[in-house]
Structure 1
Amino acid sequence: MNIILFFLILSLGLILNYICIKKNILLNLTGDAHQKFTSSESVPLLGGIILILASFFYINLSNFTFIFFISVIFFIGFLSDIKKINSPKLRLFFQILTVYTCIHFSSIIITPTNILLLDYLLGNISFQIAFTMFCILVVINGYNFIDGVNTSLVGYCLIISSSLYYLDLNGIQASQILDLRSLIYVLVAIFILNFFNKLYLGDGGSYLLGLLFAIYLIDTYKVNDSMSSLFVISLLWYPAYENLFSILRKVKFSISPINPDTNHLHQLIFFYLREIFGRNNFYVNTFTGLLINLYNLLGIMLATKFYNNSQILILIIIFNVFFYTFVYIKLKNKNSKSI
């Protein structure tokens, strides 16, 4: 069944790609600088549409609330993709409203983490709701930020899914709201399509995946007493830190933190690799995503091995944060000197 699902998603992607290119609809190039820094080729923003159509295969259909809010967050991103919601502030407002309503109508909320001060604050229900909203919003927008080069986001989601599936196979209790195996087959098909520039995820796809994994990981942590809360952080450190780091650097230079730019880490890596390997943006684009995901694969593999060891996990997270910051500063300085 899963092999059939894989080929179904692959075929659907190719058919929709052909239709969108022929009819000139849902294409990525709408004039924004951050959309065309890797390529001037028009690529359909189909990832979110395929994910929402395939959701009946990988989401537990008995969880109507989950399906509904995944659909709503996708729709917000889709309206952004087709330029019906151009304002970043308006998109953030709708995200906040969606996430708050989702928390209100579900049991998705961050529980005690074994971090003393945080657990004390989580004893207050208002703080608990606000903190859960903050974390989910950071993930949603972090996923959107790292979706700038081919295979970056979908590859990252594949790594996380594989980590959780491995733990599930080894008897570690996981949330039942997703069928991880089916999700992996869907993501592999989208990965291949994204690798060959047949589709981009777009805001719709990145918002959907952000909410999907944020909720799934919160629920998995809730049902698993042996899992360290730092393991969840180690799985989400890259999009979360990308988001928080981007906000801080934009505030420092008096730039609106919610407006897109071309100064994210993956973009700096892309510019650096393009200088080395030449101007063929397609290959550099894809290689950048693969390089970032190779690093994340190694880190997540190590974190998965020590999923219940908070001491080792905190060292992994600290190393990742320092390494990200070091590489960013080095590449930013190099880019500034070359201008």
Structure 2
Amino acid sequence: MQEPLITLLFSLSLSALIVVLAYKKNWFLNHHDLEGVQKFHHHPTPHVGGLAVFFGIFLGSFLLDSDTREVFQPILLASLPLFITGVIEDFSAKISPLWRLMAIFISIAVSFFYLNIGVYSLGFAWMDSLLSYPFISLLFTLLVVGGAVNAFNVIDGYNGLMSGYVLLALAAMAFVAYIVGDVLILQLCLLLGASILGFFLLNFPLGKIFMGDGGAYFIGFIFSMVGLLFASRHAEISNWFVLSLLMYPMYELLFSIYRRKFIQGTLASQPDAYHLHTLIYNIIVVRNPDGDKVLNNSKTSPYLWLLSLTSIIPAMFWYDNKIALIALVCGFMLVYTLIYRFIKL
């Protein structure tokens, strides 16, 4: 299939153009770039890599066969509220968290009501009976998908971290799609992966461009939608499979909320420098204080990629085993918590 290659080249070219314009013309930069406890780079860098990913996927969608295009392009349209709001935030740093959350909920609600994509089953009779009520199903979809969208933004802190993780998760979903013979989902995974890879090549390891809120929101939304769509198309594939692929960013978000609210006594939305990826970065800097700062940044990501694989790889083979997937989700949370406590102490 030529669609992924064309998408990759377009995304890479647009990413490179953004980098050149940023360094030569100071475009795509703002004075807020180096502010905040979660900023670990030392030179203004364009935060609009999401533009390259979005337009790469948008272009690639027109290369898909008509059946796949008819399914996927409405999802792209539904993503516009959260993507545009995120991009405006990347340029201005003036969009409040509440307005960004509202944009995320609008995109999810559009997908739920008009595309019929949501969380309608968890594989247990009593849960599914509750989810059969549209209002409850909508609330649960807002919670899960909204959490995933924000979780992708939370882990977008170091060169290649979020984009590398997504490439691994997409590869796992593509593998299962191939196993069950779902060409549509396989095409979408390859298209998404190609566009993200175009950005990734300039983000890791040299950090020439960052994804930004718009890109992180968009990728989190599209990945969640494709995952839910995949589960809805096959009775043997549980939504727990999708959750297993999402466990690293989702539990990072949940653990961060718990840590801030109950341990630090701060607002759950208050940014801090105590994420697992931040602690790993600090260890790398302590062990290599004279090392290149950009490379120290990039050395952080592979550790988290390996951690994410502890849920991604088993999920590839247990995609049709609900109980095993639930055990996998619980096991990942335990492993993450133990690693965090060991490093923190």
CA distance in 2, matches of 1:331, 1:114: 36
Contact 2:50 2:214 in 1 (8 A): yes
Aligned residue for 1:265?
276
Q: Distance in 1 between matches of 2:260 and 2:182?
A: 40
Q: Which residue is 2:65 aligned to?
A: none
Q: Quickly say closer, same or farther: Cα 1:58–1:221, change in 2 above 3 A.
A: farther
1:169-206 C-alpha deviation (Å, 9 max, x unpaired): 22343755962222222222221111021211000100
CA shift, 1:298, in A, is 4.4
The structure-2 alpha-carbon separation of the partners of 1:228 and 1:172, relative to structure 1 and needing over 3 Å to count, comes to farther
The one of 76, 96, 102 equivalent to 1:93 is: 102
Alpha-carbon separation, structure 1, partners of 2:298 and 2:156: 12
Q: Which residue of 2 aligns with 1:241?
A: 251
**Which of 184, 189, 206 is the equivalent residue of 1:180?**
189
Work out whether residues 65 and 105 of structure 1, in 8 Å CA contact, stay in contact via their aligned partners in 2: no
Matched, 1:53 2:61: no
Q: After the TM superposition, which of the residue ranges 141-150 and 220-229 deviates more from structure 2?
A: 220-229
Please tell me whether residue 19 in structure 1 is matched to residue 24 in structure 2: no
* Residue in structure 2 matched with residue 223 of structure 1 by the alignment: 233
| 2:261 partner letter | V
Give the superposition deviation at 1:150. 1.0
Give the ranges of 4+ consecutive aligned residues of structure 1 lying more than 6 Å apart after TM superposition. none
Supply the distance in 2 between the matched residues of 1:94 and 1:292 (Cα, whole angstroms): 29
Question: Does structure 1 conserve the Cα–Cα contact (< 8 Å) formed by 2:7 and 2:57?
Answer: no
The C-alpha deviation readout for 1:261-282, integer Å capped at 9, x for no partner, is 2221111111122111225321
Aligned residue type for 1:266: H
Q: Which residue of 2 aligns with 1:251?
A: 261
2:211 matches 1:197: no
Structure 2 CA distance for partners of 1:176 and 1:292, relative to 1, 3 Å: closer
**2:222 paired residue number:** 212
| Distance in structure 2 (CA, Å) of the matches to 1:108 and 1:177 | 18
1:62 corresponds in structure 2 to: 70
1: CA distance, partners of 2:8 / 2:187:
17
Between the aligned partners of 1:57 and 1:84, the Cα distance in structure 2 is 28
Q: Do structure 1's residue 232 and structure 2's residue 235 form an aligned pair?
A: no
Amino acid at match of 1:62: E
CA distance in 1, matches of 2:99, 2:190: 35
2-structure distance, mates of 1:273, 1:113: 40
The residue number in structure 1 matching 2:330 is 318
Map Cα deviations across residues 303-325 of structure 1 (whole Å, 9 max, x no partner).
Answer: 10111122322222222101111
Match of 1:288 among 286, 293, 300: 300
Aligned to 1:278: 289
Paired residues in the alignment total 332
Secondary structure of the 1:33 match is: coil
Find the aligned partners of 2:300 and 2:126 in 1 and give their Cα distance. 39
Change (3 A) 1:80 1:259: farther
Query: What letter is aligned with 2:246?
Result: L
Q: Check conservation: 1:77, 1:203, Cα contact below 8 A.
A: yes
- Report if the CA contact (8 A) 1:174-1:220 is conserved: no
CA drift of 1:249 comes to 1.6
TM-score when normalising by structure 2:
0.89
5+ long unaligned stretches in structure 2: 62-67
The letter for the 2-side match of 1:45 is H
Distance 2:211 2:193 in 1: 16
> Is the 8 Å Cα contact of residues 48 and 87 (structure 2) preserved in structure 1?
no
Equivalent position SS for 2:252 = helix
Given that residues 89 and 258 in structure 1 are in contact (C-alpha distance below 8 angstroms), is that contact kept between their aligned partners in structure 2?
no
| 2:83–2:214 contact (8 Å) kept in structure 1 | yes
- CA–CA distance in structure 2, aligned partners of residues 297 and 18 of structure 1: 34
Distance change >3 Å, CA 287–CA 109, structure 1 → 2:
same
1 CA distance for matches of 2:260 and 2:213?
Answer: 21
**1:32 Cα deviation from its structure 2 partner:** 2.6
Asked if structure 2 preserves the Cα contact closer than 8 Å seen for 1:58 and 1:178, the reply is: no
Residue 229 of structure 1 deviates from its aligned partner by 2.6
| Structure 2 CA distance for partners of 1:228 and 1:213, relative to 1, 3 Å | same
Q: Give the share of equivalent positions with the same residue, in percent.
A: 26
Aligned partner letter, 1:14: A
- Aligned residues of 1:34 and 1:261 also touching (Cα < 8 A): yes
- Give 2:128's aligned amino acid: D
